[in-house]
Structure 1
């Protein structure tokens, strides 16, 4: 039982018998004073006895917790000084009480009265629990009842400030350390009860010296005391700028949640050191290394201990030739080949035990260094060069090409050339020379003669610093061009062709011969129209095997433009003639082409005609004129096709196009028709072109409402309602970019409604009061556009005042004012009534028929049953 939890009602229930021991003590004290309690006075001193007198005799109502001797628990806060705990009542023959056990000189009992009291303060930190044994005694000192166990539980109060385990802390953090990753801890303890908020501690950073940025570079976990770089610290910490920081760290008990919590502080000295996590310089590895692999090529170091190192490929390779061990050592796992791949880029990463990145990835760059491990390669298995037999000494006759796969522009890939042999070696063994570094081949003298040797085979030695290769070169000595082509005919006379003949048609074959060596540039013949064809209407192609020429039409013929061509055709060689030989008339021939006329359809001057007019153009306005001509000079007539709206007409003679009816841009803004031009004397000969008419807008449409359903207000109105109305305009946007709304000027309308603009196309309609009936109101609204000239429309807006559902929608359409139905409605009502009567008569007839049928069946069954009974009888 706790003193703090017993009510005054319990005190009032204590019997007078229970109070008698206390009253007798008071009386005896007043009569005898120190005589009655001289022993207590000797034990406790005058001050305590004065307290006993005051508490027992003057304020008896405060000691209202009494009861018989029994096992009992008390919960008493520490540090509250001298106080009464409980009074045990005695039962005859008991006349006194005795307490033994863990009294610790603080807890005792008044023997005669049974009052259990404290003569000092309890301390939870010294002892959290006291166990006593209490028993009652008779006059002879014999135990009457007990011993009973009395347990006093000391309740902790927050009477101890937290204490750091060090006066000053020191720590080291690396530049670019991961934000939120602790690099040190501070720790404090509190002597108060750890199971209560009294010892619940919260850490924080009070000061940060220096603090060069707007936010702190360090942060602390308020529960664990772990100190780590903040996000800003991970970015800004740099020992070159500031290598030492002092943090003032505080710790509060009561979880820092109350203003009277105890607070302690400690200094934390932090040294910033350079980041260990740095990318190594570019790694260079010589290709085709013969070392035993894997080979150590570099090492990286994380700022954090116990991390897991790994490599991350930037590009997905079939085989990644690098690895890293758990000390950050990077290895190349196999020999590299620069000719396959000359550079590698990848990343070194670190992860913590949870698999999160511990450091920012480092980019590793590897360059594979070249060694001379590739021989020169001939670009062609056999290099063939043609040389005319009259070629002069020193002439460049061709180039031998060779490559080396080793690194470009280094000595490893430098190749040099040298002629190793010549076959045959006539008329001399050194007829040819090759430039050492370029491979350009030259003649040493003017000494080639096809009659002596028409072909030479050379072996050319191609070398680099280590390797050498033989390349084969074959030189063909070709005949010099000392013969001109000669036509088989000097005049091919006339050819007649129709002007409609397709391009590419062969109209003539011609032939010339050349006495030079066949299949060479000296004997191949090129035919050209030298005169009579300024527009390149014809082209001549040569058969490379027979040197036969084929004259073809290159451009469409036109009798009206050129009815006759007088052509002069030349025959030449691609190789130049020797200086003392010239082309002459034998290499020329004549050819005349007559073009016959073919009736062609008219031709328009344009493939597309466009015009733009205003949609309000008067009927018979000229839109534009089209023009076509007939190649044969026939008269052209014009007509229109596809004029579905009948908006246009065309003058069949002049080609002028007019408006034929009222235009309307809102129906169709871009109007397309076909213009037909046909010959007067042969209507089947006709051509078509497209005419596109663009209609410019005018403001010819007043605004209109654009609403899917009529507006309504829920009955009864409560005030402040409004509904959105929308309008639109069929004209172009520029004419209704701003629409205005207003109400018709009438007393009834102005008193009941008001309208306010929302934007260019919307407005709010609002009732001015709430006294509206449940019906439909026609509100006259005027809508204006801003066209030139401006247009307006008056609309009667049907506004419903109706009872609404919980979803704020009308239950049913409001009944309108009664009026006589129209003839159509009356006929419809009459037909509906007749149909209903017909259905009723039909149903009655069907019911009677069904009843008669059932009665007939029943009668037949009765007859059958009766005959069956007669048969059995």
Structure 2
């Protein structure tokens, strides 16, 4: 009784006041603002800290999270510790994170814990501060039968906390079925903890309800953690199984083997899974047409398969099945539902197309082409307008010449037989064709070895009066060239295709390019009007085409081509197209001569090249020929002939003995390559002929004049020598003669003071050698040696350096100009005439040089010869 006295009342009242103060402090802050809770300096694990108003911050929050793992937040705003917490120094802060994932909202609520310095009054002598000890809730989660008949409200169970032994505890619940949809389905008595349900429930709408039970003192202090309480709804077989489709549509090919999968059906049941209420069984209760039985269904999987291969689309193209599904594993008291399944039988090419007639007869006029002559029809039981039904026609026999063609009409599936190349009545009056037909798709039927249907078509050819026939279109005739004018040869021939005769046909030349022939009107033969030369430009490779038109008495015509082949005869001898060759004497000893023959090769090479042995131009064996190949020879020299141009007659003979002679001009030149050789102005005609140039003649005249003057001077000088004897000075600069010991001449040489060569003074060939001083166009030392025997030619020598003319004997000789350096000009000793080349000084140079010196008396005893 002492416990229930005034002191106990004062302690209880003081404790309640403290709790009320803490509650006021907890909610003194505004929503989503800082909340301060006063707590002891040390909190044990699972200790109630306080409660915050979460609805004022974010009422729709479905996720509540604490930033400090030492604290846990419940949906009602209760804050509990998860681990022992010590406030140091005297404050601690954490954040409550509120989120709504559906609306994508988030807010933060800051909680500040402060140390409570005020000492609470004792409620019991054994307690100084309210503590929450670990309690045990009762009972365990309960169940509820769906569709229960009541009576309602119906007691489910009693919720009780062990704290009720020490405190006055009030019970409350929150969650689905209480303050959430469905509202007011459950309630709890505050004082007793009895839990009631107010009406029947449906498990298919909600299989369980997760509610939370609370136990608190009258002043609002939670003495235990919130208790999650699951109320499970027990299932009742109150839902029929339902097919997912109605009707089902499947297709299976005809003649398919037994066990072929047709399709799969499926049903659902809203009752609790993995129970007898949802264990389904399938069955076929009817088939239309009923016979033969072709299908079966697996009772568990719902897979429909064929039980026979006797399905034939041409007999039955569609089957209707009535299906049933039943729960409770198909027991008679289970709930069942029916559905329809339509199975279409797909077509395969198991039927051949068959001709409606075994044979056909038709006709066509000859020479007609691209015309339709017949339509063939077939029957096919397969599905229309599919590859299994469409026909492909083929001509198996009788169309070896390609006169016929057959195609399929896509609309009627008929075969259209056409003539694409005209028939000839005279060749064949009747044509028999064998035509076969198949489908576009390969045949897949069984029981028949015949995979193609055939029929016979007889085509009669109607005769037609037609004109002459030019066959072959091009005809050929051979004519030898040089055939006599007026000769008649075979021409073009056309014929009547019916009589195979050429009588009565007239011919006319439509195109004769050069009018070489005339065409006989009645026979078509050719008559030669002009000479035929195969090598002329009229013929191309010996061919000549004439276009001929043939006409019969009815005016019908045909046109053909007559090709005239002009055969070659050996009427052209071989010839040498290039008759000028150059041989660089010091570098090469021969040149190549090539011959050509415009005749055909049979009348041409190999050629035979010869030199006439009795021709004086050949030079007594100086020139010779050596074979290179069938059309070329090589000309070479021997016995060291002189430089010059030689005209050599060369005879060329073809394989049949026809020959021609061509004069080849051989330029024997002092050169390195033929391009350096200059052409001669006067070719050498022969070894005994001499031709003098105009400058040579002028030089001889001037030389004779100078010689007369010098002789006259010498005579005059001799007569006066008795009075005054003059001698040559040893070295006198103003005189024309300079004594020099450089390459001194012998005793038989006299030096000349001018730049011209000494001329012959007597028959013994003694000459003079002079050292040039200021001679015209000359420099250095010139020496002319004695030339002995025969007639020689002295050519002008120009240039600087040292020059020597040595005596040569024999033959035909020339002194060529030598310029620069040290040169040697050899004379040929032989005898004969001398040819003087054209002097390389102009007439004005000669005149300007000789006139002032003809009157000089200082020139005594010197002779100047210029050739």
Asked if TM exceeds 0.5, the reply is no
Higher strand share: 1
- Bin of the TM-score, shorter chain as denominator length: 0.3 to 0.5
Higher helix share: 1
> Larger Cα Rg: Structure 1 or Structure 2?
2
